[in-house]
Chains A and B, each alone.
Chain A
Amino acid sequence: MKKTGLKARRIAGNVAAEVALIVLSIAWLIPIVWIILQAFRGEPGAITYTFFPKELTFDNFARLFRETLFLRWFGNTLFVAVCSCVLSTIITLMVAYAMSRFQFKMRKPFMKIALILGMFPGFMSMVAVYYILKAFHLDGKLVSLILVYSGGAGLGFYVAKGFFDTISASLDEAARLDGATNWQVFWKIIVPLSRPIIVYTALVAFMSPWSDFIFAKVILGTNREQYTVAIGLFEFLDTTHKSTMFTCFAAGSILAGIPVELLVIFLQRYFIEGITGGATKG
Chain B
Amino acid sequence: MENNQDFNAGFFRKIWLAVSSWFISVGLAIADFFKNLPSYIAALGKKIWGAMKDFALGFVHGNVWEKLSYVFMGFGNIGAGQYIKGALFFLIEAGFIVFMALTGGSAFVGFFTLGTNAQSTGDVVDEWGNPVVTHGDNSLLMLLFGVCTILIIVAFIVIYFSSVKSGRQAWDVKRKGGRPASFRKEIFDLFDKKLYKTLLFLPILCILAFTVIPLIYMILMAFTSYDHEHLPPASLFDWIGFDMFGQVFSSAKIAGTFFPVLGWTLLWALLATVMCYFGGILLALLINKKGIVGRPVFRTIFVLTIAIPQFITLLTMNNFLHIDGPLNTLLMDWGIISQRIDFLGSVAHDALLPRVSVLIVNLWIGVPYTMLITTGVLMNIPQDLFEAAKLDGANPVTMFARITLPYVLFVTGPYLIQQFIGNINNFNIIYLLTGGGPAVADYHIAGKTDLLITWLYKLTIEQNDYNLGAVIGIYTFAASAIFSLIAYSHSSANKNEGDFQV
Contact = CB atoms under 8 A, between A and B. Distances in A.
Interface of A: 10, 13-14, 17-18, 20-21, 24-25, 27-29, 31-32, 34-35, 46-47, 49-51, 91, 94-95, 97-98, 100-102, 104, 110, 112, 115-117, 119-121, 123-129, 131-132, 135, 147-148, 150-155, 162, 165-166, 168-170, 181-183, 186, 207, 210-211, 213-214, 218, 230, 233-234, 237, 246, 249-250, 253, 256-257, 260-261, 263-265, 268, 271-273, 275-276, 278-282
A260 B309 contact: yes
B316 A253 contact: yes
Contacts, number: 271
A17 B286 contact: yes
A31 B305 CA distance: 10
A282 B491 contact: yes
Interface in B131-148: 140-141, 144-145
Given A131-B144, A166-B500, 7 more contacts: A25-B298, A31-B317, A94-B202, A127-B214, A183-B195, A211-B311, A280-B411
Contact of A151 (B209, B218, B376, B488): B209
Nearest to A168: B502
A151 B319 CA distance: 34
B192 A257 contact: no
18 contacts: A10-B291, A25-B302, A31-B320, A47-B325, A50-B326, A94-B202, A97-B199, A125-B214, A125-B215, A127-B466, A131-B217, A132-B214, A152-B207, A154-B207, A214-B457, A250-B316, A275-B369, A282-B491
Interface string B171-207: 0000000000000000010011101101110111011
Contacts of A104: 196
Tell me what chain A mostly uses at the interface: helix, strand, loop, or mixed: helix
A123 B319 contact: no
Contact of A230 (B140, B311, B364, B484): B311
B312 A21 contact: no
Given A34-B316, A102-B196, A28 B305 contact: yes
B87 interface: no
A128 B421 CA distance: 23
Nearest to A214: B427
B206 to A, nearest CB: 4
Top-7 shortest CB links A-B = A154-B203, A282-B414, A125-B214, A151-B210, A128-B214, A279-B415, A264-B307
B85 interface: no
B283 to A, nearest CB: 7
Contacts of A10: 291
A133 to B, nearest CB: 9
A112 B188 CA distance: 30
A127 B221 CA distance: 11
Nearest to A183: B191
A152 B319 contact: no
Contact of A280 (B192, B290, B457, B493): B493
B460 interface: yes
A268 B372 CA distance: 10
Interface of B: 140-141, 144-145, 188, 191-193, 195-196, 198-200, 202-204, 206-207, 209-215, 217-218, 283, 286-287, 289-293, 298, 300-313, 315-317, 319-320, 322, 324-326, 329-330, 333, 364, 368-369, 372-373, 375-377, 411-412, 414-415, 417-418, 421, 425, 427, 431, 453, 456-457, 460-461, 466, 473, 476-477, 480-481, 484-485, 488, 491, 493-494, 497, 500-502
A51 B484 contact: no
A21 B306 contact: no
Contact of A132 (B144, B195, B377, B481): B144
Given A47-B324, A98-B199, A265-B303, A125 B211 contact: yes
A210 B309 CA distance: 6
Given A21-B292, A260-B307, A94 B210 contact: no
B378 to A, nearest CB: 11
Contacts of A131: 140-141, 144, 217
Contact of A117 (B211, B476, B485, B497): B211
A279 B32 CA distance: 28
A94 B199 CA distance: 5
B320 A265 contact: no
Contacts of A14: 289-292
B206 A154 contact: yes
B206 A47 contact: no
Given A31-B320, A47-B324, A128 B144 contact: yes
Nearest to B305: A28
A124 B473 contact: yes
Contacts of A268: 300, 303
A152 B191 CA distance: 24
A76 B289 CA distance: 44
A262 to B, nearest CB: 9
Q: Name which of A124, A152, A182, A272 has the most chain B CB atoms within 10 A of its CB.
A: A124
A115 B292 contact: no
A272 B371 CA distance: 10
A189 B473 CA distance: 43
Contacts of A246: 319
Contact of B300 (A24, A213, A265): A265
A51 B330 contact: yes
Given A131-B144, A151-B207, A183 B192 contact: yes
A265 B291 contact: no
Contacts of A279: 373, 412, 414-415, 418
A18 B287 CA distance: 9
Contacts of B217: 125, 128, 131
A35 B368 contact: no
A20 B480 CA distance: 37
Contacts of A24: 283, 286
A91 B203 contact: yes
A280 B377 contact: yes
Nearest to B283: A24
Nearest to B502: A169
B144 A135 contact: yes
Nearest to A148: B210
Nearest to A49: B329
B187 to A, nearest CB: 12
B328 to A, nearest CB: 9
Contacts of B431: 214
B315 A249 contact: yes
Contacts of A127: 214, 218, 460-461, 466
Nearest to B411: A280
Contacts of B415: 278-280, 282
Contact of A32 (B192, B305, B310, B460): B305
B210 to A, nearest CB: 3
A25 B371 CA distance: 13
Nearest to A46: B319
Contacts of A256: 309, 312
Contact of B203 (A94, A218, A234): A94
A116 B326 CA distance: 42
Nearest to A172: B502
A128 B369 CA distance: 32
Contacts of A117: 207, 211-212, 215
